[in-house]
Structure 1
């Protein structure tokens, strides 16, 4: 005999004031539950999704909703990459002029080596190429990931 009907129903939400926590903001949780990124990196990725550069917006308009799926401003560890295709393990970085200044080239190389050591392929595309022809860049990206 099953006495499940005698148990009190569980509430749908916590009995605390306010809404339930957003993903990655659970009490005591140090890392995002799906990508393993620290909470500050997830927060930075959310901000960057809302404040994308023009080349990022133009490319996103071309690849959004296509298969295989790309994610924008994707957090990985302590980094946020411009676009990621998790199915193909491909990361796409749109490099503007700031990537050529100061010690940024060395930091980009170190970051790329770390991401490649984690099993990702990294594709760097100059922002000027995206601005010149975003649809051609998008077609090339989609062709690259569908060939893998």
Structure 2
């Protein structure tokens, strides 16, 4: 019998648990809006392991990954690694949306509207 999901190594699971306890202010702000199905009844998880990655937020039902980036993600090497990570996740069927931490802190409602619009686009594409 095939497992329901890809097994997660204990070390990666421990890293995800540690990251959940050490969230940034932007992560805490967005999580407050996403947790407990607060955003349009959508189910989100935080610091969630997918393959070799731990993504900040994920809506498994819609295969949507949300990543929050601080200023260091503007550096060339980090930005290239982010692009490769996004491409790898997209190749597995995930939609990856990235927001700057400053955008979350300045306009969390706008970020939430963008998340809902992305999910609505995915729904329309799958219905059409």
TM-score, normalization by structure 2: 0.82
What is the alpha-carbon distance in structure 2 between the residues aligned to residue 108 and residue 132 of structure 1? 23
Counterpart selection for 2:30 from 50, 59, 63: 59
What is the alpha-carbon distance in structure 2 between the residues aligned to residue 76 and residue 37 of structure 1? 8
**Structure 1 residues without counterparts, runs of 5 or longer:** 1-32
Q: Which residue of 2 aligns with 1:101?
A: 75
Helix, strand or coil for the counterpart of 2:98?
A: strand
Q: Could you give the per-residue CA deviations for residues 7-64 of structure 1, whole angstroms, max 9, x where no partner exists?
A: xxxxxxxxxxxxxxxxxxxxxxxxxx74532221111110001110111100010111
Q: Spell out structure 1 runs of 4+ moving beyond 4 A.
A: none
What is the alpha-carbon distance in structure 1 between the residues aligned to residue 77 and residue 19 of structure 2? 22
- The aligned length equals 117
Counterpart selection for 1:116 from 64, 83, 90: 90
Q: Which residue of 2 aligns with 1:26?
A: none
Q: Could you give the per-residue CA deviations for residues 64-86 of structure 1, whole angstroms, max 9, x where no partner exists?
A: 11221011111111111110000
| Larger-Rg structure | 1
Matches within 5 A, 1:1-148: 34-66=5-37, 67-101=41-75, 103-146=77-120, 148=123
Q: Are the structure 2 counterparts of residues 136 and 42 from structure 1 closer, same or farther at C-alpha, using a change threshold of 3 Å? A: same
Helix, strand or coil for the counterpart of 1:119?
A: coil
